[in-house]
Structure 1
Amino acid sequence: MTVATQPAPRTRRLGRLLAGVGLSILLANCAAGPEASRAGPAPVAIAHPPLPPMKRFTGRPDTPSRRANAELARDFLDLSFLMESGRALPTLSRFEGPIAVRLGGAVPPTAVAEAQALVGRLRSEARIPVRLADGANPPHPAEGLVSVEFLPRAEMHKLVPEAACFVVPRISSWAEYRNVRRTKAMDWGTLATRERAAVFIPADTSPQEVRDCLHEEVAQAMGPLNDLYSLHDTVFNDDNFVSALSGFDMVMLRTYNAPELHSGMTRAEVAALLPKVLERVNPAGGKVRQSAPADETPREWVRAVETALGPGVSATGRRSAARRAVEIAERQHWRDGRAGFSWFILGRLSLNGDLETAFTSFLRAALIFRSHPGMEIQAAHVDMQLAAFALSAGQAEDTLIFADRAIPAARKAQNAALLATLLFVRAEALELKGQKAAAAAVRLDGLGWARYGFGSDDEVWRRLAEIRALSPAAQLNRAAAAVAAQG
């Protein structure tokens, strides 16, 4: 998320959980009935056993770029010379020369290792001359500087309530941002050359969210500023299905920082050089058949999506906005990721009270995502929702089908939160089949990934409890407790 003169929500927005893994316990509540949920005994504190060690991914996500270089050139120009608002950028701006990344503030325990891994990928895959600075090796005056500051979420949201994390130009600290946040200094469009940029990330968030924010915001500090809903295999997309830098992203970053280009070039000047640059950067792209360009995304669709996902809107208003997004997608005759995302949002927002619409919407999203190679992670998010429906209905075999085909995609995309949720669902399905030992092993595996995906122990146990509550066995237990409480 880049922030201009007037901060506006962009990619790492608070509503990102709608494209993530937050699973509504309302499925279970609806199945058990409102009286059961109201009449049940008061919750009591439960002493949980120690969690297993946190699991973490190694290496890079298995998400190679599959598009022709001519397509990549179009995407590069739209990512590099437009802001998300549709405003055109007159020239290219980037860091010229070596770059140092410096961590500051209340740095979370996992952040240093994540930053080291990110910097390593940027050097090896994007060929950017970047290093991680520290006390022993501080930034040099000749280096460009990307300062990553961690601060309490509540403090950050006092000034930018819509954002989960963001990047701004020309400054290096939160104190500077407070002083200049409403001035033209924050306008990326006025930059000739990038020399400093600051990334702000909550310190009190999950390890996965720390990684996701580092990947997206540091990438935008060193590369394109725009996000395009028409792209499906990138962090440069507001749907947030892709959470770690993909093969496409590394091609974009390597191209953005290619020696043939420099700050101050116009769109036409860059366009003239792109074929040769991409031929060198991505030789495989010259052998791929070119597809037709996606049509422009109407601003009214973007506004509908932002309303559905943004803060300060009633549940009714969110659902209405989601329906508008679907209507616009249908009117545009879309069958791409934007159409799938529209149905997915409507499905998520319909879980509270309209399960028929939710289920139908997820089926429509699944059909779209599964019809496009390369949208496996999008389909995995939908399969998780469909698995939850199957589990709530006591359909163990169907639950396993949905979970088992989604788990590999979650692993490949390195989404621990989604992976943990799928493993929890799978464990409950195995319980229904009487395979208790297998269920316990799968659940234990999920707990390790959940520590990375969800963060605090309390949040891990809460997520597990949500999934367990979907099982018919849990629903029967709640109903029995409600009857007992009524005497």
Structure 2
Amino acid sequence: MSRVRAFWGAALGLVALGLSACTEVPTPVEPVAKPIARPNTPKPPQVTAPPRVARPTSEASALLRSYLNQVQGAQLSQGLLRRDGGGVDTPYTDTMLARNFEQIALFNEYNGSFTGRGGASPLRRWAAPIRMDVIFGDSVPPSQRKTDLGNVSSYAARLNRVTGHPVSMSRNANFIVVIASEDDRGEALAQAAARVPGISASSLTPLNNLPRDTYCVVAAYAAGAGANTYTAALAVIRSENPSLLRLSCIHEELAQGMGLANDSPNARPSIFNDDDEFALLTSHDEKLLQMLYDPRLKTGMNASQARPIVQKIASEIVTRGPV
């Protein structure tokens, strides 16, 4: 069974929080001619926080981990989840690239509630710099956290280079990646919503209630004046995924969260294809991202408006070679 990578766009309003502060004015005192000696009191004992006790893994999470390991093993045994980016067996022309871009960038994979297929959609992308951060569920061990954070950081740098759009890691994030288990995903999602304005509690429901064959998902939000300009995104990756599936989720969901919202059965070599042939971003996919952020395309364009420009850009990119 192929992994399901859903994308959800929602237009939300931002809520501005105003904070006020008051300054206490000290009561005047008489000047002192000489320093007042402080009493010789012992220092308070240092309090050490108790060691964190890991939460026991639930049966649901353990069964899910076993299932996902079987999925990865079965896919690898069939020659799927390739990491070579394509080669002589996966040629494509500028015409094919333009067609794939239209299908992937100008259509939605799912509707807003993940209950059905999406349809045609205007071009969507970010205008502001993208600032990514990772929130881990309490059950994710330190070794996995280190690996996953490193993978997200290096991939963010790659997206920055490929698109020419600013993408970086930051605690002041507007694109949060939640990596959590079945046991602690709800808590991690709540942390993410508290940190990013424009993400409502109601929008988290489909992200928290994932079917078993949904290994990861991303939701992008447009909370500003432009309905097609992303201002926030939230990717959710099951920590129960084995290492390659988890890395594959990072590659696809973060790229989808930049505006490549759909999959296409015709796209090859590509991670934007439900056949799972490729696990990691390919040279073909890098070209799609480069096209998405080409300034000749305008946010909000429909397929007919974008098509002649997309064909011209695709011809230039294929002629020019690797990104």
With the length of structure 1 as denominator, give the TM-score of the two structures: 0.40
- Tell me, yes or no, if the aligned pair for 2:264 and 2:273 is still in contact at 8 Å: yes
For 1:18 and 1:206, the matched residues in 2 are separated by 10
Match of 1:2 in 2: 6
- Tell me, yes or no, if the aligned pair for 1:96 and 1:194 is still in contact at 8 Å: yes
For 1:271 and 1:158, the matched residues in 2 are separated by 37
- Tell me, yes or no, if the aligned pair for 1:96 and 1:262 is still in contact at 8 Å: no
Over aligned residues, Cα RMSD in angstroms?
3.2
2:242 pairs with 1:206: yes
Q: Aligned ranges for residues 274-353 of structure 1 at < 5 Å?
A: 274-284=310-320
- Tell me, yes or no, if the aligned pair for 2:72 and 2:245 is still in contact at 8 Å: no
Structure 1 residue 158: Cα displacement: 6.5
Match of 1:93 in 2: 124
For 2:273 and 2:260, the matched residues in 1 are separated by 12
Match of 1:396 in 2: none
- Counterpart of 1:151 (choices 180, 202, 205) is 180
Structure 1 residue 101: Cα displacement: 1.2
- Tell me, yes or no, if the aligned pair for 2:218 and 2:235 is still in contact at 8 Å: yes
State the secondary structure of the residue aligned to 2:296: coil
Do the aligned partners of residues 155 and 116 (structure 1) sit closer, same or farther apart at CA in structure 2, a change above 3 Å counting?
A: closer
- Corresponding letter in the other structure for 2:167: V
For 1:19 and 1:274, the matched residues in 2 are separated by 37
For 2:306 and 2:71, the matched residues in 1 are separated by 33
- Tell me, yes or no, if the aligned pair for 1:16 and 1:239 is still in contact at 8 Å: no
Match of 1:229 in 2: 265
State the secondary structure of the residue aligned to 1:170: strand
Q: Aligned ranges for residues 243-254 of structure 1 at < 5 Å?
A: 243-254=279-290
- Corresponding letter in the other structure for 2:218: V
Match of 1:192 in 2: 228
2:136 pairs with 1:105: yes
Match of 2:76 in 1: 21
Deviations 1:114-149 (A, max 9, x none): 012211221223333211124xxx34xxxxx21101
Do the aligned partners of residues 99 and 242 (structure 1) sit closer, same or farther apart at CA in structure 2, a change above 3 Å counting?
A: same
Deviations 1:345-368 (A, max 9, x none): xxxxxxxxxxxxxxxxxxxxxxxx
Match of 1:128 in 2: 165
Match of 1:63 in 2: 86
Report the number of matched residues: 218
State the secondary structure of the residue aligned to 1:199: strand
For 1:155 and 1:239, the matched residues in 2 are separated by 30
Structure 1 residue 19: Cα displacement: 6.0
- Tell me, yes or no, if the aligned pair for 2:130 and 2:168 is still in contact at 8 Å: yes
Match of 1:168 in 2: 219
Match of 2:12 in 1: none
- Tell me, yes or no, if the aligned pair for 1:128 and 1:254 is still in contact at 8 Å: no
Gaps of at least 5 residues in structure 2 are 10-66, 110-115, 186-206
Match of 1:220 in 2: 256
Structure 1 residue 257: Cα displacement: 1.3
With the length of structure 2 as denominator, give the TM-score of the two structures: 0.59
Structure 1 residue 170: Cα displacement: 2.2
- Counterpart of 1:72 (choices 87, 92, 97) is 97
Do the aligned partners of residues 256 and 148 (structure 1) sit closer, same or farther apart at CA in structure 2, a change above 3 Å counting?
A: same
Structure 1 residue 69: Cα displacement: 0.9
Match of 1:306 in 2: none
State the secondary structure of the residue aligned to 1:197: strand
For 2:121 and 2:147, the matched residues in 1 are separated by 39
Greater helix fraction, Structure 1 or Structure 2: 1
Structure 1 residue 210: Cα displacement: 2.3
State the secondary structure of the residue aligned to 2:76: coil
- Counterpart of 2:156 (choices 116, 119, 122) is 119
For 1:105 and 1:222, the matched residues in 2 are separated by 21
Do the aligned partners of residues 244 and 152 (structure 1) sit closer, same or farther apart at CA in structure 2, a change above 3 Å counting?
A: same
For 1:204 and 1:270, the matched residues in 2 are separated by 40
State the secondary structure of the residue aligned to 1:66: coil
- Corresponding letter in the other structure for 2:210: V
Percent identity between the two aligned chains: 23
Greater strand fraction, Structure 1 or Structure 2: 2
Do the aligned partners of residues 258 and 82 (structure 1) sit closer, same or farther apart at CA in structure 2, a change above 3 Å counting?
A: same
- Tell me, yes or no, if the aligned pair for 1:223 and 1:257 is still in contact at 8 Å: no
Do the aligned partners of residues 237 and 154 (structure 1) sit closer, same or farther apart at CA in structure 2, a change above 3 Å counting?
A: farther
Deviations 1:34-79 (A, max 9, x none): xxxxxxxxxxxxxxxxxxxxxxxxxx84536732111111111111
